[in-house]
C-alpha cells in the first residue's frame, strides 16, 4: 500500500469504527486535552506534517502514557502483552500501580526518550515493574481497574470478557489476529471486529488515534471501576 492509500485506509477504518461505537460527549472527552498536548498526541490530518510530529512516530509507549495521564486518574493497570514493560514503567513513575502480564519475561529497556523534553532518560538497573509471566486469562482482570492491550497477542477478546465480568476499563490497539477465539469475516478489519465484539457485549467504546507509526487507532472503554475511581477522586494526589 502506498503511504497515501495507507492513510486513506486508516481514516476510513477510523470513521467506520467511530460510526459503530459511541459518539457525542464521550468522543469529545476522548480528545479533550490541552491544545499543546493534543497537538503532540493526535492526528488531525492537517497537523500531521510538522517535523516535531514526525519525530513522535516511534514512541507509542510515551504517547499512550501521556494520553492516559491526560484522561484517566491513576489506578491499578495491567499492560497485557506489555513486552519489555516500558509503558508500565512510565505509568509506575507517574504514580499508577502497573503490572505487565506477558508469557515472555523480558527486561526493561535501559533508557527511553522523553518526547516532550527530547532527552534520553536512563532507567536504573535496579528498576522493576511487577510482571506476571503467563498468558492473560479472563480471571486475572479481577485485580485491575484498567486493562491495556497495545498490539497484544492472544488476549483482545479475553480483555473484553474480563471487562464484562469485573467492570474494568480497557484500552486496546488490536493489530494482529493471533491466538484469538474468533476471526474477522473476509473483508473486515480486525480492529473493526474487536470493536464490534465489545459493542455487542454492551461496552461504551470510543476510538481515538495517537500519532505513532503502525496500528494507531485505540479503543477505549472506561468501565465501572475507572468511572467510580474518577467520581471519588481516587488516585489524585498520589505521586
Ligand X SMILES: C[S@@+](CC[C@H](N)C(=O)[O-])C[C@H]1O[C@@H](n2cnc3c(N)ncnc32)[C@H](O)[C@@H]1O
Grid coordinates representing 130 are 511487577
State the Cα–Cα distance between residues 38 and 45, nearest whole angstrom: 12
State the Cα–Cα distance between residues 81 and 137, nearest whole angstrom: 12
- Give the residue with the Cβ less far from ligand X, 154 or 235: 154
State the Cα–Cα distance between residues 75 and 78, nearest whole angstrom: 10
The answer to whether 167 touches 223, Cβ cutoff 8 Å, is yes
Give me the least distance between CB of 75 and ligand X, in Å please: 19
- Give the residue with the Cβ less far from ligand X, 71 or 84: 84
Interface with ligand X (CB under 6 A):
80-83, 101-104, 135-136, 150-155, 179
Give me the least distance between CB of 102 and ligand X, in Å please: 5
Between the alpha carbon of residue 26 and those of residues 3, 71, 156, 166, 180, the distances in Å are 30, 12, 22, 21, 28
Give me the least distance between CB of 34 and ligand X, in Å please: 26
Give me the least distance between CB of 180 and ligand X, in Å please: 9
- Give the residue with the Cβ less far from ligand X, 97 or 99: 99
- Give the residue with the Cβ less far from ligand X, 80 or 219: 80
Amino acid at each position: 500500500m502506498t503511504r497515501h492509500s495507507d492513510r486513506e485506509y486508516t481514516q476510513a477504518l477510523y470513521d467506520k469504527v467511530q460510526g459503530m461505537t459511541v459518539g457525542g460527549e464521550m468522543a469529545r472527552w476522548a480528545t479533550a486535552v490541552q491544545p499543546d498536548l493534543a497537538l503532540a498526541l493526535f492526528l488531525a490530518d492537517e497537523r500531521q506534517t510538522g517535523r516535531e510530529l514526525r519525530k513522535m512516530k516511534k514512541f507509542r509507549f510515551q504517547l499512550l502514557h501521556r494520553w492516559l495521564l491526560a484522561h484517566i486518574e491513576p489506578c491499578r493497570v495491567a499492560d497485557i502483552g506489555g513486552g519489555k514493560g516500558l509503558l508500565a514503567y512510565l505509568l509506575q513513575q507517574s504514580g499508577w500501580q502497573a503490572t505487565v502480564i506477558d508469557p515472555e519475561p523480558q527486561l526493561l529497556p535501559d533508557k527511553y526518550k522523553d518526547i516532550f523534553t527530547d532527552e534520553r532518560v536512563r532507567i536504573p538497573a535496579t528498576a522493576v515493574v511487577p510482571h506476571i509471566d503467563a498468558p492473560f486469562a479472563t480471571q486475572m482482570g479481577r485485580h485491575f481497574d484498567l486493562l491495556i492491550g497495545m498490539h497484544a497477542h492472544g488476549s483482545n477478546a479475553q480483555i473484553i470478557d474480563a471487562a464484562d465480568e469485573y467492570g474494568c476499563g480497557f484500552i486496546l490497539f488490536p493489530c494482529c489476529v493471533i491466538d484469538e477465539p474468533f476471526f474477522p469475516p473476509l473483508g473486515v478489519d480486525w480492529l473493526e471486529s474487536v470493536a464490534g465484539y465489545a459493542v455487542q457485549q454492551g461496552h461504551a467504546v470510543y476510538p481515538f488515534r495517537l500519532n505513532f507509526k503502525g496500528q494507531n487507532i485505540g479503543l477505549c472503554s472506561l468501565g465501572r471501576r475507572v468511572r467510580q475511581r474518577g467520581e471519588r477522586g481516587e488516585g489524585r494526589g498520589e505521586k
